[in-house]
Structure 1
């Protein structure tokens, strides 16, 4: 017995104590982060509470719900005024009304609209999904495209491509949103719908577009004079051939990718993703990506049967399965770094899956365009759906897309410019750091230096902008929604403000303010994930 006591006192632990020690260690390591998170949430809640009080007071003094009755000529004018005063509790001081609203808020009651009689939660429940549908695609595309173009512009600094991107970014950044939206309705909808009546590309436009494509691709690829001329000629020939095929076959009237198109584009995606993530010298990564393309093409016909009773959840599930297949294929090819092959194969698989989905949507284009409600003019200018149109999942998806395309492009053009400038400036600053010169001195290729060493640190400034922009977009693209008659958060705010309806405006502000507060907290954690020198518990 004495020996046992001496052994435990010397520091050795019995087996049952090990899990307890592990849990204590985890709590000790997680405690600073949890403390930081709790402190930020508490301070953010106080800020949000003060902001709601200020906004409620401003609305109480700025909006007059009795304005329409004061100028009324109805014989029972006074009775109507008294009834509305009792309905809205206008005899109570605004401060007391705020605390009544706050007390109801803690019970989950955001009030109701005295104009329509609907609950604010119901109004937000219909407006938020509509806004998410509008801004999700535009935000993701604008971020991805803006960062990509900005990085290429930084790598091609002081070239024609860099000057062109800089000029275009400043032009787009300075354009008013309403003007962009109106031009898109004029040329993107009315002009394109007229063009679809006879989709023949004139030779002059074919030449202009082909030459412009050659200039763009030769500037992006860069290299020696010989390389630029080769890329210019290849781009011109490829673009001219593609446009000639589209114009001569009337492809726009009944578009389709088909197995050959999916295979060709998929191979291009495989090579592009491999070149960016692993380098074409990594044969295992390249073969794993190409294998996922082959699997996707082989499953093209069986998937057509699965698409008969398609739904949103089925498509999401198939997308998850595609990513899983890519991960498994990348793991099976192995190599010294399985993660690289798995990542490239998963991205390629998702891209091929998206191509198959787009091809299936294209299959209903002709029937959709010829429907009586569409009448050969598929690109919509207002609203989120075509009244009276009925069809299966694919028809509904195409209808949503044709209504989303113009407002999405408008939001992309506005956001694209800022993301391009941020990413370009950030990467240029990073590429001049000492550790980048050290990486080059060690003999690393320029691709490795850029993707593995510079790109991650170049994202740090964007980590401040992107979450806040996403939160702000969820408040609604007010001008874009107004012009395209899109019933989202922006329209809800405008209608409620014009009707002097305070409760929906407060509901709108509460959602927007909460998202912005949470976005600020997310920024801190993203900073810590991107830069090891930053700790959220400091």
Structure 2
């Protein structure tokens, strides 16, 4: 394994260098960096600008020498002294890259995780419910999303989601739904539930009506209490959601008949609910991202320990069930605390909290929760825009892959042995269906950085895409090359990760030195 990784890294290094040389030559011949300086009417200023740009970009050297000078600076990254050159204005590309790269990766990571989780889940469900009403509806929506231009979708989201939602919050009587909306939401979720469920018609109708009634009551409560102005979940709701997460995780990992796993999940959920109030006090005491990650790690450890202590024939299964439950409960508690900062954050922004441009609000003063809310609010619309396009790809590949796996002989054998459908899907089909999807994910992560150029322009998001665009418009080669190099490294890195993931997902695949 180690030999394979080293060999792939060395090969990837030569690929990146070769591709960088081709890109450097193309960029160098894409325009004249001195054209803007030549437009100056003052001969002295024109001469100074020409000399400054020539020195910063090494334009007095031929393109091959300039490439190796640029490569020498980039190679300094291996010893902690990165130098991606200067911009045409004399700025440091390395400093800009460090800032913009973190912003882009934050955006791409959020979009990728959401698209992956939701897209794969939808793809698996539609494969299991092949040719059902739910399958046809999802197929229509997926192809619709896939065909939407990114810039058009971004503009529509800014208008229909952000601006309209902010206006809705500031209605004279408060944010109140009409009776028509109550009916529409109830019918929608009722039909969605009916299309997903399996079993007898009476069972499907009963559960769908219960879901529709629940949605109606929740929407009525949100409307009448103006919950959107000061949202929170509260301990009773957290207890209910934690119990549902415990049951849901157990269903997926072990099945509800596995009492040990169910007990592990319920105990973990109970510990999380019991710690809700003490955590509220802790949250107010100098919270930071590092402390938040530490709490998440502690939650996972608690879930694993609970699973081990519960014991049984399969302690590792119990530990996984406890860990996933702890993760779900931790996310709920975090969301509840973020909601409690919403009212204060909204008041700081004059009652219009959903932002449509930039990555942060300038000069915003607040604690960890206010600043985190600000970052997440600015991420919301760009993330949705990128996610919708990737969601279509992931869901279709997941559906096709799962359908192919479900038709294999070993799946029929598993069913013939009397295994439950949950065991067949989760333990046999799902893992093998992920193998082709791994390749798509590897390319998608790298592609999203390049594809975010349009999205960042729509939302005026100052990140890698904006750096690339400005570099092209100003015939500035170094920012363009920095953008290209980051994408090239991501492509080869994600392909290496995909190869290693194959071996983890399929024991028949062995990565060796041969």
TM-score range, shorter chain: over 0.9
Distance apart, 1:527 and its partner CA: 1.2
Distance apart, 1:73 and its partner CA: 2.0
Q: Give ranges in structure 1 of 5+ residues lacking alignment.
A: 1-32
Aligned counterparts of 2:375 and 2:434: Cα–Cα separation in 1: 33
Q: Which residue of 1 aligns with 2:401?
A: 426
Given that residues 214 and 233 in structure 1 are in contact (C-alpha distance below 8 angstroms), is that contact kept between their aligned partners in structure 2? yes
Give CA-to-partner distance per residue, 1:169-217, whole Å, 9 cap, x none: 1110111111111111001100111111231110011101110100001
Structure 1 counterpart of 2:293, from 291, 312, 316:
316
Distance apart, 1:324 and its partner CA: 0.6
Distance apart, 1:90 and its partner CA: 1.7
Structure 1 counterpart of 2:28, from 34, 45, 60:
60
Distance apart, 1:78 and its partner CA: 4.5
Please state whether the residue corresponding to 1:459 is helix, strand or coil. Answer: helix
Distance apart, 1:316 and its partner CA: 0.5
Structure 2 counterpart of 1:142, from 115, 130, 143:
115
Instruction: Decide whether aligned partners of structure 1 residues 79 and 354 sit closer, same or farther in structure 2, where only a CA change above 3 A counts.
Output: closer
Q: Which residue of 2 aligns with 1:161?
A: 134
Q: Which residue of 2 aligns with 1:256?
A: 232
Q: Which residue of 1 aligns with 2:42?
A: 74
Structure 2 counterpart of 1:190, from 141, 149, 163:
163
Map 1:464-503 to 2 at 5 A: 464-475=439-450, 477-503=452-478
Aligned counterparts of 2:363 and 2:295: Cα–Cα separation in 1: 30
Check if 1:34 corresponds to 2:9: no
Distance apart, 1:230 and its partner CA: 1.2
After TM superposition, the structure 1 stretch with the greater mean CA deviation from structure 2, 470-479 or 436-445, is 470-479
After TM superposition, the structure 1 stretch with the greater mean CA deviation from structure 2, 502-511 or 253-262, is 502-511
Q: Which residue of 2 aligns with 1:178?
A: 151
Please state whether the residue corresponding to 1:407 is helix, strand or coil. Answer: helix
Distance apart, 1:320 and its partner CA: 0.4
Given that residues 476 and 488 in structure 1 are in contact (C-alpha distance below 8 angstroms), is that contact kept between their aligned partners in structure 2? no
Check if 1:84 corresponds to 2:53: yes
Corresponding residue pairs, total: 504
After TM superposition, the structure 1 stretch with the greater mean CA deviation from structure 2, 466-475 or 323-332, is 466-475
After TM superposition, the structure 1 stretch with the greater mean CA deviation from structure 2, 503-512 or 110-119, is 110-119
Q: Which residue of 1 aligns with 2:496?
A: 521
RMSD: 1.5
Distance apart, 1:476 and its partner CA: 6.2
Aligned counterparts of 2:283 and 2:457: Cα–Cα separation in 1: 35
Aligned counterparts of 1:235 and 1:49: Cα–Cα separation in 2: 57
Aligned counterparts of 2:156 and 2:466: Cα–Cα separation in 1: 21
Q: Which residue of 2 aligns with 1:368?
A: 345
Given that residues 266 and 352 in structure 1 are in contact (C-alpha distance below 8 angstroms), is that contact kept between their aligned partners in structure 2? yes
Structure 2 counterpart of 1:208, from 167, 170, 184:
184
Aligned counterparts of 2:50 and 2:279: Cα–Cα separation in 1: 64
Give CA-to-partner distance per residue, 1:318-363, whole Å, 9 cap, x none: 0000011111111111111111211111111111111111111111
Aligned counterparts of 1:98 and 1:64: Cα–Cα separation in 2: 16
Check if 1:133 corresponds to 2:106: yes
Check if 1:294 corresponds to 2:263: no
Aligned counterparts of 1:104 and 1:204: Cα–Cα separation in 2: 63
Please state whether the residue corresponding to 1:477 is helix, strand or coil. Answer: helix
Aligned counterparts of 1:266 and 1:143: Cα–Cα separation in 2: 23
After TM superposition, the structure 1 stretch with the greater mean CA deviation from structure 2, 295-304 or 88-97, is 88-97
Aligned counterparts of 1:492 and 1:55: Cα–Cα separation in 2: 16
Q: Which residue of 2 aligns with 1:217?
A: 193
Distance apart, 1:297 and its partner CA: 1.2
Map 1:275-354 to 2 at 5 A: 275-308=251-284, 309-354=286-331
Q: Which residue of 2 aligns with 1:390?
A: 365
Q: Which residue of 1 aligns with 2:68?
A: 99
Please state whether the residue corresponding to 1:62 is helix, strand or coil. Answer: coil
Distance apart, 1:513 and its partner CA: 0.6
Q: Which runs of 4+ in 1 moved over 6 A?
A: none
Aligned counterparts of 1:367 and 1:142: Cα–Cα separation in 2: 30
